[in-house]
Amino acid sequence: MDKEKLTSEEVQKILEKYDKEAIQRTPKGFFLKLIIAIAITFSIFQLYTAAFGVLDAMIQRSVHLAFGLALIYLLYPMSKKWRRDKVHLIDVALAALAVFCVMYGVVNYKELVLRAGIVTRMDFVMGLIGILLVLEAARRVVGLPITIVAGFFIVYAIYGRYFPGLLAHRGVSLQRLVGHLFYTTEGIFGIPLGVSSTFVFLFILLSAFLEKTGLGQLFIDLANSIAGRASGGPAKVAVFSSALMGTISGSSVANTVGTGSFTIPMMKKIGYKPEFAAAVEAAASTGGQLMPPIMGAAAFLMAEFTGISYGKIIIAAAIPAILYFFGVWMGVHWEAKKLGLKGLPKEMVPNIKNVLLERGHLLIPLVAIIYLLVSGYTPMRAALVAIILSVVASMLRKNTRIKLIDIPKALEAGARGALSVVAATACAGIIIGVVTLTGVGLKLGTALVDLAKGNLLITLFFTMLTSLILGMGVPTTANYVITSTIAAPALLRLGVPILAAHMFVFYFGIIADVTPPVALAAMAGAGIARANPFKTGLTASKLAIAAFLVPYAFVLSPDLLIFYMKGPIHLIWALITCVVGLFVLSGGLAGYVFDKLGIISRICYSVGGILLVVPEMTTDLVGAGLIVLAFVIEKVRTKFAKA
């Protein structure tokens, strides 16, 4: 048996350690049937409203949340110590209570509307219990960080008068806060949950159907056939396959464990150190959340928050995502060259023509969804069509054909996969509700700008740190909601275009997954590679260097987002300098550019690369000068070494 490979049980343990969403009960008998029935009904409800029309916002979101909370309490135990093979009666009671509290608003919908904000004692009790159940559900399936943040905002809303300086406000009564958070579309039932109850659920369901067709294996085979024989082939396969998987995946950790269980042992086998192998997979998998069209479901939220169409957002996100993966790819390439690593043997690399002939038709839904989105279809309609096409496309060949039993299984898997998003968006709604009620978002933005004394670069730096901290241990959708609410206003105050500001905080919130000390994706990769987690996190941060620079580039030169392009020349110049900068910067960090580098050359290449990525003529000239200097130094050093 290959000692490098982990068993499926070991992989599952690693996933559960770093991704709370993976810790689900496995009951039998009645409760298993009940969970399956609720999950399938949940998916059918979402498909029905997508096909025949979404219900009134409050009702649609309430039903969505009721399904989600019921499944969360039935599937996720209160404690890891509780038995996983049975459902505790306390959780059954909490599931029923959650449904009752949420549906209370649906049953009394007309009366609540007519009361226009007046909260009765019964309303208050149901709302308060509902809020607490949302927080507990988020703790179980998403984790403590977002629950603590939401809890802090609730305390801030009530006790605002005790906060210092700019943050102080007169405070909100608990009754008013409950009414705002639970009975309006400004709190729990706000935009994030609205997006979850329409677009996001369908894309997660699409991902479940695509998985049943074997699309994930197709991505790995395609990556192998394209990059397998290159220098350090398995590492490049990891980068390429994770980029592809990221188009349908909603989790950096799940992507790391899913593709990493295959790619990390291969990387170690050809000579990469465990820390580097794990870091490559973590950096690539995290980058998958930046890759259109789904972007960890944040693209849908971004469209709602910015008022920019979803189609324009995924087009704008394309170049920064490609630059990110180019930076990771070059880091892998230079490391392979430095170590003298070869690619996979020819017999281990599948023929791309055969791969496409056998299973290329499985790409039809992805091609269709991009075409439909660009053509102006709503994301919800595009996802619905893609789900249908995924089933139809699978029928084209016998070896990919979905069995009849796979359809209800996909419906169930889709509902289960959506639970973290349901909990995260509902909890994020609490944060947004407090922000709208107290105006703290603008206050925090003002504080950041004042701290930076109005300097854009310093404000960007402070915003970056804020987004990295807020993004630690938080899944993509909630991550973006928090960072865009708290950190983005600072950039908007300085005149940064709205999409550039939101993309900036989104990038740094996501890259927290590979930034120590938390770095959940890096830690999950380290678990598979049996590597040192902290070293893996540092190496992953180095490989993901593009994600720390590209956001500055598209804020300072919005041409890179296409949407704000001044002209093709500006875009081409920005692209050239970014590509050359990342090319030499990754080499400087690796200590190899066509040959092993001395310390002075490494510094010159690294600093020169950073300056080239920053889109200013002065920095470009200085950066180019440093690169030329490094090149000359290496030529002279090599000449003397041979002499």
DSSP class of residue 23?
-
Task: Please list the residues that pair with 592 across neighbouring strands.
Answer: 596
Q: What tens digit of pLDDT does each residue of 448-493 get?
A: 888 888 889 999 999 998 888 888 777 777 778 888 888 888 899 8
Q: Are 330 and 586 in contact (CB under 8 A)?
A: yes
In angstroms, the CA 567 to CA 322 distance is 20
Quote the pLDDT of residue 1.
38
Q: What tens digit of pLDDT does each residue of 26-69 get?
A: 888 899 999 999 999 999 999 999 999 999 999 999 999 999 99
Quote the pLDDT of residue 14.
72
Q: Are 178 and 131 in contact (CB under 8 A)?
A: yes
- The sign of the dihedral angle between the CA atoms of 172, 177, 179, 181 is positive
Structure tokens at 222: 């395609």
- Neighbouring residues of 456: CB distance < 8 A, sequence distance ≥ 6: 494, 496, 555
Q: Are 414 and 205 in contact (CB under 8 A)?
A: yes
Q: Give the residue-averaged pLDDT of 594-622.
A: 90
Half-sphere exposure of 456 (CA within 13 A, CB side): 13
**pLDDT at 375 > cutoff 60:** yes
Quote the pLDDT of residue 589.
92
Quote the pLDDT of residue 5.
61
- Neighbouring residues of 303: CB distance < 8 A, sequence distance ≥ 6: 309, 310, 313, 379
Question: What proportion of the chain, given as a percentage, has pLDDT over 70?
Answer: 95
In angstroms, the CA 554 to CA 559 distance is 7
Cα–Cα nearest to 554, from 575, 582, 580, 583: 575
Residue with tokens 């049996």: 530
In angstroms, the CA 190 to CA 171 distance is 22
Q: What tens digit of pLDDT does each residue of 353-367 get?
A: 888 888 889 989 888
CA triplet 251, 257, 260: central angle to 5 degrees?
120
Task: Please list the residues that pair with 596 across neighbouring strands.
Answer: 592
Please, is 364 exposed, middle or buried when counting C-beta atoms within 10 Å of its C-beta (0-12, 13-18, 19+)? middle
Q: What tens digit of pLDDT does each residue of 574-591 get?
A: 899 999 999 999 999 989
Q: What tens digit of pLDDT does each residue of 307-339 get?
A: 888 888 888 999 999 999 999 999 888 988 888
Residue with tokens 């049980």: 9
Q: Categorise residue 453: left if φ over 0, alpha if ψ from -120 to 50, beta otherwise.
A: left
